[in-house]
A and B are shown apart, each in its own frame.
Chain A
């Protein structure tokens, strides 16, 4: 035997009250008076009709009977059929993709869905809700929450994340949450095909709230620019998704958000138009913006970073082959050249060599592995990282080092072996490894290629761009060191957020151009809308699947029980009063 609802044990108080009540029942003090002539008349006033009198005399009996009947009624667990949400478990799946920002009348689809959710939250009838947002990955916002205030707060805080909704992943995720319980899944999206929903319908009811409107949309599909001898050349691809031809203006802005070009374009209905702009002034990034009358604004602007010369890696032939192999696996453009050619290499390319003099001569960033001017000495001791910035991904403390070259002057020690420096960084930013590969087993450790990658990133970190990201994308980037932490701003110098280091870089969710404030030049990066998010599709609202019968009945007995309990308590009080006034009438 078990109890389903031990929490109702508190109702033990009720019989206790009755018992106490009988203990302390009214005691009449006997008092003899000469005549009850007047008293009788006072009492007569309350004994008007015979029915009332009967009720009065038997009030206790009736009240107790009524209380017992109510008890029985509570035990029967009455419920009313209301238009409440059915299912044992309720899951609200909220699409937070960019297309949810398409306008419907005065509000966006997203806002409309939010209001719908708020309305639904009032009909929950004490059931738990799980809210899942769908973006690049499904995310649980609320799990099995019953508190209406908390549900409403969570709904209010929902925001569009701009990333494309990943339905297959979400469906798998949902299946794992649903389990075997009967579940009502509400999908708040703009458009989803019934075939995108799982086949399994046992105990699951899918309720899809789509947007049935065909939206007006003009979309800036692609935008790119290259630096040429005559200036910047930009190409834009604009798609008119409307069945009507339309005119629009394309404006181009530079990195400082100054308008540098403008063009009026006639767009044919359901047609893609290509626009080419030449001889633009040199800048770090370009932003194209369309001024068109449509209902979806997120796809009307795009930013692009100007392709700068990518830094190439040149590896000295005299170095161990493993090094050049490793660099080639990191960057296919890495090439091996002879030591003599190294000096003629253009700036910004990374040189990997053992020529110590290059440290002072070359302007290129240098990764020095071994020294050609000194002899290596035997070393004994454990490898110890002093400055971990190059080793955030893999520690090298487990490698063995046999010999080590003497240290270079004016350089910061990053790693030591015993007391001797092993890896250093010069004031110019060059990285010096004071050993040859033959002197260590490092090449056998996974930390070796990771170190090379880190070194390469470190040496190229002085670029002016970070690249292009998806909304809210997490990617490890290498950022210049900054004592104050790293802040992200829009080109209008609006503060967005701060991050600790390149390892925890998360792109902002709103598409557009951003920059990371550094001590020197700003580092630009672009958050671009995914291509799928640039097309609005017409959706439908439909329901699909069915809950097993016993669960389709909405048991909304919570209010009932509360009311009944309150009634019983009120009854007890009334009984008390009746007892107090009339006593036992038998």
Chain B
């Protein structure tokens, strides 16, 4: 036993001596994850405890109902149920309309004949990604407000009457989804465009010889080539089905559309950060994460069942 043990140890030391610089580099991201991701996770226990601003989470007393008091409270809270419904609705629409959008744009860009024009279009399409939602919300008000918004002023002059983009719940949902696409579609094409470059050009040459037209090229070569990427991104998106952005719905919201704009993150902000009910909102956050993980795992399993690679 002894010699092998020593041998093993020596080889480990040798190995580390050889590659220490790589491990040193790796330690930085690992330290980041430990400090900013794993240590904060100890605070999840707040969901099962009675929160106090002056005690550390380890000292706080346990909540009632075997610690599940705040989960029960959350599901009895009407606002939470609305927020849950709205989060699912908005995320589902985002997925339904927002997910295919970058694929279509990537295909369109791919078909462009002039490389210069393609590059220019690509850059312009990326740009909105760098604007914060606060600025976009400001722009939206300037453009879409019912009486003073530029678009509605124009519609009024044409005698068409204003469209309540921001002040009617149904219209607002579409404004919300549309602005989301406008901001992110260009950015999200990057990964598809990268995947497109990986498709073997010989396939296109072969199809040209076979007399395939453009549609057939897209349908039989490009899209199948993109399939693994599409599935990976779809699985990741499904893992986000219950997660919710804060700044986007918060900045775009107003009192007339709160019946659709109040999502979980806004609930957490209102009850937790403003109302100081941290236990309740931590419980909500934990529920949200658990559902997301379930979706992620299920989507991955499903994808594997259909013969795709999955994400792990």
Q: Do A and B come from one complex?
A: no
